[in-house]
Amino acid sequence: MQELLLEVKDLEINFYTYRGVVRALNGVNLRINKGEFFGLVGETGCGKSVTASAILNLVQNPGRIEKGEIIFKGIDILKMSKEEIRKDIRGKEITMIMQYPIAALNPVINNGEQISEALIANIDITKNEAEKRTIELLKEVNIPEPEKIARQYPHQLSGGMAQRVMIAMMLSTKPSLLIADEPTTALDVSIQAQVLNLLKDLVVKYNTTILLITHDLSVVAETCERVGVMYAGDMVEIGELKHIIDNPKHPYTRGLINAIPSEKRTKLQEIKGSVPDLVNPPSGCRFHPRCTFAKSVCKQKKPQMLEVEKNHLVSCYLYDGQK
Ligand code: SF4
């Protein structure tokens, strides 16, 4: 039986901007089990990174969490004080790697010291032990000449090497959940594959759980066991990777898959229209202006998530027998 690690319940987040209220998350639900490699996929602006920020309780002004719960190991993170989150959760139980590692690393501290500092700040360890463990961590993320890299500064690293340093730092506290937000987007294709393979190996080695956020369904197909597809602030489909890739149910997921180049596909199909402005999102199913199957109910009410096969959930009236 799988153990539930994280549950996001009915999460609603708005951003109060000069242009109006951006309805960024529209009641998102998500469950991630311990030891899973879970992928969250969707176009830019669909709410993936906002969801990740909320999991770390990092949604900043003008953003506001309007309602919902984020239950991590049985405790609602949103009810914890800033101090409790800083002390017990962020950087310890949940860590995050970003798209641009060189920008995320401190430019004036050498790579080794940055990892040692993370160790000393979060676990009971002496300076000497932290320095030794830093070299071990750099070896574990396949960095050649780890002692040399430890003495260097972030600007001396390639993008792929900087991402490995970042991964070493974020794994240093053996977190229960590692959030990887577009970790390979800024890297060359061959380096992307190396970083994804490294993350896959580390899930097993560290018995950690990974939430991979990406706009690229082919990245998810390389790595994840389960996938959530988001569109315009809604979770529209969740299922095991093989269900999502081989038997997608939601018209948006089908559109995403038809847009991926493959040997079988001679012509790529685009999804008609464009992502809506979330200051004034479409009523009902937010995908309805772009959906060739839209019917009148789709414009009136948001469809519920329904289980269409075991562990495969879809939010679409095509599968709601009552409509
Ligand atoms: Fe299309 Fe309606 Fe399904 Fe939305 S609910 S994806 S508009 S058929």
Beta bridge partners of 230: 235
Contact 180, 196 (CB under 8 A): no
User: Of all atoms in ligand 1, which is nearest to the CA of residue 294?
Assistant: 7
Cα distance between residue 99 and residue 167, in whole Å: 12
Q: What percent of the chain has pLDDT over 90?
A: 66
CA of 296 to the centre of ligand 1 (A): 10
Provide the whole-model pTM.
0.91
Nearest CA to ligand 1 atom 5: 316
Q: Which residue has the tokens 């995320």?
A: 104
Helix (H, G, I), strand (E, B) or coil at 62: coil
DSSP state of 176: S
Distances in Å between the Cα of 296 and the Cα atoms of 14, 83, 274, 317 are 27, 48, 20, 10
**CA dihedral (79, 84, 85, 88) positive or negative:** negative
pLDDT tens digits for range 98-143:
878 888 889 999 999 999 998 998 888 999 999 999 999 999 898 9
* pLDDT greater than 80 at residue 273: yes
Distances in Å between the Cα of 67 and the Cα atoms of 12, 29, 222, 293 are 5, 12, 34, 31
Nearest CA to ligand 1 atom 3: 316
Exposure letters 147-163 (e unless 16+ CB within 10 A, then b): eebbeeebeebebbbbb
Cα distance between residue 188 and residue 32, in whole Å: 29
Mean pLDDT of 155-179: 90
Cα distance between residue 46 and residue 56, in whole Å: 18
pLDDT tens digits for range 80-96:
998 999 888 998 899 99
pLDDT tens digits for range 283-292:
999 999 999 9
At 122 the pLDDT is 84
Domains annotated on the chain, with CATH? 4-93+175-315 (3.40.50.300)
Q: Which of 236, 291, 315 best tests ligand 1's pocket when mutated (most atoms within 8 Å of CB)?
A: 291
**CA dihedral (47, 53, 56, 59) positive or negative:** negative
